[in-house]
Amino acid sequence: MTGSWLCRDDMDRERLLDMEQRLKPVRVVAFGVLAAALLFAAPWLGWWTLAPLAFAGGLFVLADRRLPEAKRPEYLMFAAWAGSELTIAIAVGIAGGPQGATLAWLAIPVVTLSARFSLRGVVLGVVIALSLLVGAAFWEDTAHVLEEPLVVTAPAALILSVAILSTPLMRSDLDHRGEAVIDPLTGMLNRKALSNRVSELTQQSEVTGQPIALVIGDLDHFKGINDSLGHAVGDQVLKQIAYEMRRHLRAFDLAYRLGGDEFLFLLPGAEVREGRSLADQLRRAVEKTLGESVNVTISFGVSASTKGQTFDYDVVFAAADGALYEAKQAGRNRVESGHVITGEEVEVAPELKAAFAD
């Protein structure tokens, strides 16, 4: 994976997706509060003021449905955020502009900026919010703004204060949560992050029906490197291999270190064929990573859920793990795929479930 203007790296992207899941139910409540306020004021303002709010909610619903397939989910979420801010500005402008009491509503979406995006995203969001604030105020009543500039400067100060105060608080929270879900050696996500993401992908697959491929990789004869060259060299090998593999992933693919020299990748929207193709790219990348100094190869097992069916991690993992075993038995440094058996035809080994739950 690579960084973008709004996310420094795939870890930031993972945090964005995680925060989006946390914000979704809260956002519904917030929209409900705004809708209730507009309903209460409808006899004076008119019922049509609800239309922009409904449109803003629709933008987030659309964005949530497209997240699993988005190559750059951060841009999709920022577009939804900007669209919601724009619709609020339109509603505020039509509802009275500087003479109304709703200009300060433009500060509400600003609260969520630092929870999702890098500092550049926060700055851009604040610029958008302030521009819409000025536009909504002058659009409705320029003379009133010029006569009483406090009607604009007060909500502008609120927007800036919210952004300034929320950013360091959210950065601190994200840093502490990042320490809990990121493997310190490779920078990949760990088992705890995997557990959270599996639950979210399962829910998304129920809605979208899109398949999810799962790839398990295990380095070949890695114990020999540790034994002959030492664990310090082994750690450096793991770091470099993890870096090379992440470079070949799509923006929305998810990479995890399960422990030791075992890695797992989740590919939303991908079937077995795409999973095998990516696994082979990763296999070749690992083979070329260290050249002649250290001979390292990796074997992969691939499986995927069936399109139109809910993603069942235990079943797909068991199939991929069985395929990995076949790859090892067939000579290593290869990719094998496993067939997913649905229903009661397969019973996942208790130790696999226990390992995932750890």
Q: Among 130-144, 177-191, 234-248, name the one with the lowest average pLDDT.
A: 177-191
Whether 202 and 146 map to the same domain: the answer is no
346: domain CATH number is 3.30.70.270
The rounded distance, in Å, linking the Cα atoms of 18 and 196 is 8
Total domains present in the chain: 2
pLDDT reading at 48 higher than 60? yes
> Tell me: the pLDDT tens digits for 142-155?
787 788 888 888 88
Whether 83 and 120 map to the same domain: the answer is yes
- At 129, the pLDDT band (50, 70, 90 cuts) reads very high
Whether 111 and 230 map to the same domain: the answer is no
Q: Which domain holds residue 293?
A: 191-357
**Token pair belonging to 190:** 């760990």
pTM of the model: 0.56
Over range 112-119, report the average pLDDT.
Answer: 81
> Tell me: the pLDDT tens digits for 184-214?
888 888 888 888 788 888 888 888 888 999 9
| Farthest-apart Cα atoms in the chain, separation | 81
Cα radius of gyration (the chain): 25
Domain ends where: 124, 146, 181? 181
Name the range with the highest mean pLDDT among 33-42, 106-115, 258-267, 341-350: 258-267
Whether 195 and 172 map to the same domain: the answer is no
The rounded distance, in Å, linking the Cα atoms of 107 and 310 is 38
Domain ends where: 181, 202, 234? 181
HEC profile for 185-226? CCCCECHHHHHHHHHHHHHHHHHHCCCEEEEEEEECCHHHHH
Mean pLDDT across the chain: 81
